[in-house]
Amino acid sequence: MSDSARAGCLPRIGGALALDFCNTTTGRGTERFVEHLFDHEDLLRWSVFNELLTPEAAAASGARTSPDERAAAFARAMHLRGLLNRVFDGLAAHRAPVEAWALAELTALAKQAWRTAELTPTGVGYAWRFASADSGPAALLEPIVRSAVEVLTTRDLTRLKACPGPYCGWVFLDATKNAGRVWCEMEVCGTRAKLRKRTLARQAARAER
């Protein structure tokens, strides 16, 4: 049974589905790492909240799969998240370009994620249509993979940032006009930073007396 209190309500602050999937953990690489997805049930709850599945489709998916199938699907999801964390955490920190092995693995996943693509008329033009995310456990991850590719190929990666809040590290695309966004959420990490600054200022003032 899930231990997550936030799987179905994590803020969507990343600016892209793939980045919000990365942000299903907090404090990556720190001693205060927090996991928000513990099992396949949590993955389905997150998918409903992010509108990949309807509640009915999520319930049906859970009902028609065996425990072993759910465990395998969850393991695949966690592997994908680890790969995307590696890619986007590194880019947000302005480290070296994405490692060749990671790009190769993401390329292979993207080929699978596009295998059902069909061009369909929209009334004003044409658009890609894909298999529904509820068509199978693997299909649930395909929109996330396509989102990751879209970020890498069409977004300004100089706008990709990681929240500097202690034990946060959530990644997001800065869509502000002057690229001045700093925090994942100003009312969360930004407010905490202000409070810490005030506390330090008061402590310094008392020390000078």
Give the model confidence (pLDDT) of 72-81 as tens digits: 999 999 999 9
What confidence score (pLDDT) does residue 94 get?
Answer: 87
Tokens of residue 179, six digits: 């690229």
* 8 A C-beta contact, residue 16 and residue 157: no
Query: What contacts 71, CB < 8 A, 6 or more positions away?
Result: 40
Tokens 């500097």 appear where?
164
Q: Is 49 exposed, middle or buried (0-12, 13-18, 19+ CB in 10 A)?
A: middle
Q: Is the Cα torsion angle 9, 14, 17, 19 positive or negative in sign?
A: negative
What confidence score (pLDDT) does residue 5 get?
Answer: 81
Q: Where are the domains of the chain?
A: 17-208
Q: Is the pTM of this model over 0.95?
A: no
Top-level CATH class of 17-208?
A: mainly alpha
What confidence score (pLDDT) does residue 191 get?
Answer: 72
Residue ranges in the chain modelled with pLDDT below 70 = 1-3, 190, 192-209
What confidence score (pLDDT) does residue 198 get?
Answer: 56
What distance in Å separates the CA atoms of residue 162 and residue 169, rounded to the nearest whole number?
Answer: 5
* 8 A C-beta contact, residue 126 and residue 120: yes
Count of all residues that appear for the chain in the document? 209
What confidence score (pLDDT) does residue 8 get?
Answer: 95
